[in-house]
Amino acid sequence: MNLGEGVRLVSFGILALIVLGGALGVVLAPSMVHAAFLLGLVFVGMSGLYLLLNADFVAAAQILIYVGAVNVLLLFAIMLVNRRIPDAAAGKRGLRNTIAGFVCLFVFGSLVNGVVRVPWPISTETPIANSTLRIGEQFFSYYLLPFEAVSILLLLALVGAIILARREFVPDRTESGDQPLVLPERPRAEMDETPKLPETTGRR
């Protein structure tokens, strides 16, 4: 084993520990905000693993999209909703954690079984010099229709997020008397009330 292979092996071990430790923190952290930050750490570790596989474009997309967009969106959603769990639901947390633990153990055992039993041949081909160019060619030739479909889906999700964020303009009741939108976790802001300054008595 030469120096380059040793550095790659040590780097893989460190990144694997970061990913596994961050994933355990996401599952076991009592605070959702801390879990979201640990999820960002997992995304950073995954980008490092992509770099070890000579996938520079996927590593950059992992940082820009998942860490810079998806993780920040999760943090904003957690902080804005701030929903409290009632006592009745908190009492069932132990049962749900037990069921989730068995499901996680089953999935982990299936993954370990797949890693051990499936043969993983090592390719002797030289890595692609410019993976970004090859991915761009595939996107705009063979996978153009799925690429545009995903773009439309993201646009619809963005429009829905804007509608939910501007729900103070939704009327309390429609013409038929029904409530169109009920979101109890966030009180409706009164738009017509303006803060009043305290009246000062006397002169200086």
Domain residue ranges of the chain, discontinuous segments joined by +: 11-83, 128-171
pLDDT of residue 16: 92
Whole-number Å distance between alpha carbons of 194 and 75 = 30
d(CA 26, CA 13): 20
Average pLDDT, integer, range 150-176: 72
Kindly indicate the confidence band of residue 175, based on its pLDDT and cuts at 50, 70 and 90.
low
Amino acid, res. 174: T
Cβ partners under 8 Å of residue 80, min gap 6: 186
pLDDT tens, 3-23?
777 888 889 999 999 999 999
Which is more confident, 182 or 132?
132
Mean pLDDT of the region 81-106: 72
Query: String of b and e for 130-151 (b: at least 16 CB within 10 Å)?
Result: ebeeebeeeeeeeeeeeeeeee
Question: 185 or 125: whose pLDDT is higher?
Answer: 125
> Tell me: the pLDDT tens digits for 33-58?
888 899 999 999 999 999 888 888 88
Joined tokens for residue 129: 């010099």
pLDDT of residue 79: 77
Of all residues in the chain, what percent carry a pLDDT higher than 70?
Answer: 70
Task: Give the separation between CA 134 and CA 126, rounded to whole angstroms.
Answer: 15
pLDDT of residue 89: 54
* Lookup result for tokens 């501007």: 166
- pLDDT, position 166: 67
Contacts of 39 (CB under 8 A, 6+ apart): 22, 26, 71, 74
Q: Is the pLDDT of residue 183 over 60?
A: no
Contact 59, 48 (CB under 8 A): yes
Q: What is the mean pLDDT of residues 27-37?
A: 86
What distance in Å separates the CA atoms of residue 76 and residue 83, rounded to the nearest whole number? Answer: 13
Does the structural domain 11-83 have CATH classification 1.10.3720.10? no
